[in-house]
Amino acid sequence: MEQKKIIIDTDPGHDDAIAILLALASPELEVIGITCVAGNAPLHLTEVNALRICELAGRKDVKVFSGCDRPMVRKLVTAEEVHGETGLDGPDWEEPNMELQPQHAVDWLVETLLDAEDQSITICPVGPLTNLGMALVREPAIASKIQAIVTMGGGYFVGGNVTPAAEFNIFVDPHAADVVYRSGIPIVAMPLDVTHKALMTKEWINTLSELGTEVGIKSAQMLTFYNRFDLARYGMAGSPVHDPATIAYLIEPDLYTGKDVYVEIETRSNLTMGMTVVDYWGARRKDPNCHWVSEVDDAGFFRLMYDRLATL
């Protein structure tokens, strides 16, 4: 089996953590590095959380890099009300033994991609797009090295989750998102439109705990804490677990359907800052720059996550 080389760009975050675990449990994927960014929590927490998750998966060999501690232009917005003071509240975490790589994430992205063959690496951003945006501004030539960007972010049919118009990852750094969406790199977006169609229930979370493994127990503890916010907010039977959709798409793309569309990022309006403006019906007559995913086999998605997490 030829592995797909991926880089996970992340701000862990409970759903980021599950995405990382899913990737590390999947033999189809070679995680050549994890780059951390400020988002769900400040950078000094997200970088430690990424190390914790690698250790939890038994993968101390994975290289983790610390990146940008603030957005390109705006002040940092974080989400402690969702993810807690540590960004990964729920389990009792010990300090990780792993250490961060000495190189800055943006430097490493540029160097690694310039050394790679054309269209050979897939980038999976599951947080604000600051690291990738900064890398593209610094060295536009890396664009030709990227096979695709498979990212969690945005919303169209369901609106936003941090403002009426904007999803959190895009809202935190809309200027970086604008750079990425204008880059010409093939983009697959896993927006709220699709993640809100795969809702995890307390019963499913309990099945992870019943695995009896450290990964299963800690995953259940993380998701129980994470679940409480959306259950209270939306009043649904379950809550979305956003970021693992990017990894699931890479493993089993047939779980998802979407449409090629043109997407622009709003960077000026106070009212709609960070909105993903999706030309779903081609009104602007522009060539698509994004595959916008909107449907999911939710049973298959949760089966895949369970089966893979059970192997760790």
Sequence-separated (6 or more) residues with CB below 8 Å from residue 15: 126, 226, 241, 242, 243, 244
Other beta carbons within 10 angstroms of residue 97's beta carbon come to: 8
**Per-residue CA distances from 295 to 48, 151, 196, 209 (Å):** 34, 15, 10, 28
Tokens matching residue 281: 């019906």
Sequence-separated (6 or more) residues with CB below 8 Å from residue 207: 306
Phi, psi at 285, each rounded to 5°? 60, 35
Short-list 65, 53, 277, 245, CA closest to 151: 245
User: 239 near 226, Cβ under 8 Å?
Assistant: yes
The crossing angle, in degrees rounded to 10, of helices 214-234 and 14-24 is 140
Would you call 299 exposed, middle or buried from its count of C-beta atoms within 10 A (0-12, 13-18, 19+)? exposed
Catalytic status, residue 44: no
Q: Identify the active-site residue in 14, 83, 196, 242.
A: 242
Is the preceding omega at residue 13 within 30 degrees of 0, hence cis? yes
Rounded to whole angstroms, the Cα distance separating 127 from 181 reads 15
**Per-residue CA distances from 240 to 66, 87, 182 (Å):** 27, 17, 28
DSSP state for residue 188 in the 8-state scheme: E
Q: Which residues are tagged catalytic? A: 242
